[in-house]
Structure formats: C-alpha cells, structure tokens
Amino acid sequence: MDLLISLLLATAVQFLLFLYLRGRIEQQLNATDLLKNVQTEIDSMVRELNLSAERNIGVLEQRLSEMEGLLGKADQKVMLLQRELDRRDRATETYAQMRRPLPEPESIPAVALEVAVVPEPVPVPVPEPIARVEVPPPPKSLKQKVLEYRAAGRSPNEIATLTGATQGEVELILSLQQSLFAQESIPSG
C-alpha cells in the first residue's frame, strides 16, 4: 500500500510539475505578445517616416515657392530690359531722322556762307536690337502631375507609370493631400 501511495504521490508531483513547466513555456513562446510588440514598433517607425516625409515635402514646397518668386522677379527684369531696349531703338530712330541733311540755301550772301557752313555730323553706330528672351513656363512638380492624373481618374499604379515615380511616392502624395483636405474641411471652433 505504501508503494501505491508513493507512486500516486510521485505521479501527482510530476503532473503538477508538468503543468507548471507547460505554463512557463507557453508564456515564453506566446506569439500574440510578440506580434503585438513587433506591430507597435512598426507603427512607430511608420509614424516617424511619415513625419520626416511631411517635413521634407514642406521644405521642398517652400523652396519651390521661393524659386517661383525669383523667376517672377527675373521675368519682370527681362520685361523692363525689353522696354528699355525698345525705347532706345525709338530714340536711335528719332536721332537718325533728325540728322537728315538741310536743304541748300540759294540766296545767302558769300560772307554768310562761310559762317553758315556746318561740319557734317559724325555718324553714330546704331546698336543691333537684342533678341527677346522667352522664358518657358516652369515645369510641373511631381505633386501637381500626380494630382492632375488622380483628378482624371487614374489609379496610383498608372500614375506611377506615367510620372516615373514609385507607387509608394504616389500613394504618399495622395494620402498627404487627403489629410490636408481633411484638415481644411474641419471647421475651427
């Protein structure tokens, strides 16, 4: 009988030890917790990448607007220069018209002729007109192209193919545009 009790007691201890070890192993190898940890890390990395991309896009847009301002100033200066050249051409033509020879006087006495003789004017070289410089319109940015294709009903994959950008870039631009549109449509209280 003692043997039976010892055997039952040993079996019960081994069974409890088995249950304890099994629980510890399951706790260590629980895939759900591991997946949750991986998911939170990936989410934080995606958030950081989105913030960095938004910051970079903002910097690029700011520089583009500065460049457009500089191009506008350059266009104004080109137009001003062209007006000056036109005015100079008109002045040269007017001066050339003023240099026409005077008609010969017929009844001026000989004494007066000596006094009336005017040396011939020195010809002034006429500068050649400068050709007009036509400034082509600035090329469209990737953002503008993507938004135009999207407005035309194209898919992100088609837009990526047409613009030469990656599909991720196209989707990022579209998602940022949607978030900006959503922020603008929310009434501020």
Question: Mind listing the pLDDT tens digit for each residue in 54-77?
Answer: 999 999 999 999 999 999 999 999
Question: Mind listing the pLDDT tens digit for each residue in 27-46?
Answer: 777 777 778 888 999 999 99
Tell me, what amino acid is at 143? K
Given this model, what pLDDT does residue 49 score? 94
CB 126 within 8 A of CB 96: yes
78-97 burial code (b ≥16 CB/10 A, e <16): eeeeeeeeeeeeeeeeeeee
Question: Mind listing the pLDDT tens digit for each residue in 110-129?
Answer: 544 455 555 666 666 666 66
pTM (two decimals)? 0.32
Given this model, what pLDDT does residue 151 score? 93
Given this model, what pLDDT does residue 136 score? 73
Tell me, what amino acid is at 90? R
Given this model, what pLDDT does residue 57 score? 94
Given this model, what pLDDT does residue 74 score? 93
